[in-house]
Structure 1
């Protein structure tokens, strides 16, 4: 079994199944690189579907009119899935770029959990050309759909007004403007997206607020050491 060791977790964001935190260039150690996690989404593509969609947004630039960067070949993106409720990953899906192609591995049960990760090349899931101006997708023989490339940032936030409200010297702390101005309008992220049959993931053991079974899942970025 050939494995490539990747260590040093750089960023993390949780979702169960709706994201509860987000990072947009406010993590100094990873800002300006594709190790900076912006958002993570996990959802059913349609009601009652037997598939789950995972979308991970990482980014190099978030301000409008700035060009997006490129996926870092030393950064591994890992989607972690907890199946027994102990908040430790039981299945992982990994993505890493090489020469304009995004390679995916998994889902597999990792031999080590937490801060250290290893790519098990025997669990190759599929690959897709990293898109540029035109979106490119691929579908594997077992029904997994894959995408990697730049997308418009879906995050809506009035960052300028936020700084005005929380600044110690701000005179006007009356609150946010309605509807406000979307600082991220026109900004780009680098995204990976997968639609995966649930039969490959295992049985979900959690439920959302309306009683629908869901996966406890989170994403990390790890840099090769």
Structure 2
């Protein structure tokens, strides 16, 4: 496996989404838009109340309307989940995912040797791998209790895109009523997919969370980046 993945060392940052719990950032810059380097949504949460696990969900490539072809994971793009454990907004642990020959390989969690927008693949810290799903979801669970998934999932983002464009249109009167009420708004992304990467991992493998959310719960400060081979 190391031989098949060694070419990806040395990558530079394309996109970043920061979240304490949930963040959305649909359609990034032209260099990444419409590819699996384009970060749509990032979620981090407990799977059940009181669980000792954390689930990370990265949704990529969002600007696809229903009935159009969906892409796949770019083998030259590294997705990296960054975790800050001491509050300085610098990653102390990283979990990496990169596609190769129909599988998604995961590495980490490990302390990175370099931080910021440049990265390398830590192939000495293989977390596991999973076949990239098609119409049927495939989940692999490792002996350490880590569950892994990669593949298309329905876009969870509800957004009336065309009404939004009408509201912000410079032409006066194009949407005098503003946004439509519940029941009348259309979910533009209904039926569209994102390319999703999911990791459920025991907190004992990550370290102790040091941040506190609005509910007073201890959480990880975490964000996701995509990096392309240079």
TM bin (shorter chain): over 0.9
Match for residue 97 of structure 1? 99
**Is 2:16 the partner of 1:7?**
no
**Is 2:212 the partner of 1:210?**
no
Match for residue 204 of structure 2? 199
Q: TM-score, normalised by structure 2?
A: 0.93
Q: Name the CA distance, whole Å, in 2 between partners of 1:207 and 1:60.
A: 30
Aligned CA-pair RMSD: 1.4
CA contact (8 A) 1:6 1:76 kept: no
Q: TM-score, normalised by structure 1?
A: 0.95
Deviations along 1:167-218, one digit per CA (max 9) or x if unpaired, are: 1114134321012111110001100101000000000000111111000000
Q: Name the CA distance, whole Å, in 2 between partners of 1:181 and 1:26.
A: 23
Q: Name the CA distance, whole Å, in 2 between partners of 1:27 and 1:166.
A: 20
Match for residue 162 of structure 2? 160
28-37 or 143-152, which deviates more? 28-37
CA contact (8 A) 2:47 2:53 kept: yes
Q: What displacement does 1:27 show?
A: 2.6
CA contact (8 A) 1:139 1:145 kept: yes
* Consecutive unaligned residues in structure 2, runs of 5 or more: none
Aligned length: 222
Match for residue 127 of structure 1? 129
Q: How does 1:132-147 map to 2 (within 5 A)?
A: 132-147=134-149
Q: What displacement does 1:60 show?
A: 6.1
Q: Name the CA distance, whole Å, in 1 between partners of 2:106 and 2:55.
A: 14
Q: How does 1:71-86 map to 2 (within 5 A)?
A: 71-86=73-88
CA contact (8 A) 1:164 1:170 kept: no
Q: Name the CA distance, whole Å, in 2 between partners of 1:28 and 1:192.
A: 22
Q: Name the CA distance, whole Å, in 2 between partners of 1:57 and 1:95.
A: 13
* Consecutive unaligned residues in structure 1, runs of 5 or more: none
SS in 1 for 2:124: helix
